[in-house]
Structure 1
Amino acid sequence: MTASQQTINRLAAVHPNRVDLGVCVAPLRPTGGCMDRAEPGVLVRADFHIVILCSGGSADQVVDLARHHHESGALVWIRPGHVHELPPAVEGTVVCFTDAFVGSETSLSPGPVSWNLGSDDLGDVRAHLAVLQGEYERFVFGPTGPHLAQGEAMLRLLLRAFLIRIGQAPALLAGQTIEPHPVARAFLTMVERSFATIHTVEAYAGALGYSSKTLERASVEATGLSPKQVIDGRLVLEARRLLAYTNLPVSRVGSRLGFVDPANFCKFFLRATEMSPGAYRASRQT
């Protein structure tokens, strides 16, 4: 990792013409537009969602320390808080939106970062995106008129439909196909919100109102991973983020993740990654 890559830019959702609109749909080009808002090589941690549907070209992008491939038909969904490189020089369409804009009625639970869409799913996702993009351009760049009165509501509904259709496409998490499962979805959402304060399967099961056995079955069916693997995996991801992208002492990293004793954090990280926190940090700086 170069010195410049250790600096993380934080972007807030900014619309080219209206700062109060929480969605932006734009073509992806190698230069210009939002691509010029951060220096090349500098990592970004945005406060909004970024969905990229690639239509041409081939390149990789690092999102949260994992490499994801862009090619025609590939979709990448970068969620708020993910540390990522700028999109690569491929062709496609980018949809950026805030949680506030899409609203609480649409489930935005944690999920996969990338999809390789099959022909049927790709056709449907492209069709939904085309309608969303057309309405966006009419509302933002077209002449004023009666449509503006309900234009924002229309965009919100079309965005929700687009996201729901993405969620219906098969995707992978840790190499396993994720199937829709309400218990697992609630669990994954809670882990994302509470990983730094709740570390046990029993505590999550109790908070969600299920037995540990029910949670175990749902998690394995949906992700191929046990609840303990999901919890530990989220802790390891955040630890890696903090070790790779900040200069916080190891003890502070452990404290942020809910480990009162730094030695316990070091043991946990070593057991999960087969590297000490210090060794992992050193490996990212070479």
Structure 2
Amino acid sequence: MVKNGQARAMQGLPQQSILGVDYANPKFPELGIESLCLSELLGRVPPSHFASPQRPGFHLLMLFTSGSGDHFLDFRRVRCKAGTLVHARPGQVQQFVLGQALEADVLLFTSEFLFPAIPAPDGAAFGPLIDDIVPEDVTDLQPDALESVVSVMSAIQRAYSKADGSKLSATILQHLLHAVLLTIAIYYLKCDARRMTDSLSMIFQRFRQALEAKFTQTRTVEDYAEAIGCSAKSLRRACMMASDCSPKSLIEQRLILEAKRLLAHTGLTVEAIAAELGFSEPTNFVKFFRRHGGMRPLDFRVKFPGPHSG
């Protein structure tokens, strides 16, 4: 998960901010995927490494196989048991709870290791497959889904144990990862809700990429439309078809999500968080958070059951 058990602070963020973790495979440094069990992952480095929330720069797909306990994902406490599937995405904030009798099969992989898209039978475009599975980031698999997912997870575990670092073994693992995601998508991908033309799908994908890069710099829909080379009208249509939300709403949701991450997982002041998110005045941030988050920022911090809560 981290090279030599080391982590780095996210560049440009204050010292009190969320710890960023780079992907590093100790067995195959050039391979963009690693298969291991949760106990192995947690035992790789000293417990102090997992003492604080982290922001991985890669995907973690965790299928819990035994025990019961908690896992923090963003500002949520996730209840885990055998059959719970958790997908932590790059940039999300997560925290392991140590000392629990929990075991899981874990896949760590980079975005670059993924196949780019999944074709639909009717020609519709779904975008990158990883965006379409486990849409809420956590689900309890039903027995038929669990049986299928366990089967393909076992196949990838066997292939990884026999991998030799060659391009051929990497290709095999890449195809098996795609099979894992497809198997999950069979049960959770809602085709009717994702039916889009190729052009609108591309607009939405580019918007999401631009939003991730610029959400602290601008909240103006026209700025995003200009950045990705389309009209504001086309951007709105793509967003509505893909998510049933306007681009303005998605921009606001992204800002609120980051605000909640910083409030829940750091000791940064409201003033520092306002500056981090691009607000010229802390009062403007407080008003924005109350309007879109439903409460004052400090009330959210106290409410959240995390290490920095009241």
Indicate whether the TM-score tops 0.5.
Answer: yes
Secondary structure, in 3 states, of the residue corresponding to 1:56?
strand
* Matched ranges for 1:27-66 at <5 A: 27-29=37-39, 33-36=40-43, 37=45, 38-39=47-48, 41-66=51-76
Q: Which residue pairs with 1:199 in the alignment?
A: 219
Q: Which residue pairs with 1:275 in the alignment?
A: 295
State the Cα distance separating 1:223 from its structure 2 match: 3.3
Residue in structure 2 matching 1:105, options 113, 116, 124: 116
Residue in structure 1 matching 2:180, options 162, 168, 176: 162
Secondary structure, in 3 states, of the residue corresponding to 1:67?
strand
Deviations 1:171-216 (A, max 9, x none): 79xxxx9646525454444333332223133433444455545544
State the Cα distance separating 1:119 from its structure 2 match: 4.5
Unaligned runs of 5+ in 2: 1-15, 118-127
* Matched ranges for 1:167-178 at <5 A: 167-170=185-188
Q: Which residue pairs with 1:126 in the alignment?
A: 150
State the Cα distance separating 1:269 from its structure 2 match: 1.2
Question: 1:186/1:74 Cα in 2 relative to 1: closer, same or farther (>3 Å)?
Answer: farther
State the Cα distance separating 1:134 from its structure 2 match: 1.3
State the AA in 2 paired with 1:52.
M
Deviations 1:109-146 (A, max 9, x none): 49531133345544443333222111111115xxxxxx
Question: 1:79/1:274 Cα in 2 relative to 1: closer, same or farther (>3 Å)?
Answer: same
State the AA in 2 paired with 1:257.
L
Residue in structure 2 matching 1:91, options 94, 99, 103: 103
Unaligned runs of 5+ in 1: 1-5, 141-146
Residue in structure 1 matching 2:23, options 8, 13, 29: 13
State the AA in 2 paired with 1:27.
C
Matched, 1:73 2:80: no
Q: Percent identity?
A: 31
> Is the Cα contact below 8 Å between 1:255 and 1:262 reproduced in 2?
yes
State the Cα distance separating 1:241 from its structure 2 match: 1.7
Question: How many residues end up aligned between the 2 structures?
Answer: 267
- Matches of 1:66 and 1:224, distance apart in 2: 23
> Is the Cα contact below 8 Å between 2:17 and 2:268 reproduced in 1?
no
> Is the Cα contact below 8 Å between 1:115 and 1:170 reproduced in 2?
no
* Matched ranges for 1:234-253 at <5 A: 234-253=254-273
Secondary structure, in 3 states, of the residue corresponding to 2:31?
coil
> Is the Cα contact below 8 Å between 2:17 and 2:267 reproduced in 1?
no
> Is the Cα contact below 8 Å between 2:33 and 2:108 reproduced in 1?
yes
State the Cα distance separating 1:232 from its structure 2 match: 1.1
> Is the Cα contact below 8 Å between 2:115 and 2:178 reproduced in 1?
no
Secondary structure, in 3 states, of the residue corresponding to 2:104?
strand
Using structure 1 for the length normalisation, give the TM-score: 0.76
- Structure 1 window deviating more from structure 2 (212-221 vs 232-241): it is 212-221
State the Cα distance separating 1:103 from its structure 2 match: 5.0
Question: 1:91/1:280 Cα in 2 relative to 1: closer, same or farther (>3 Å)?
Answer: closer
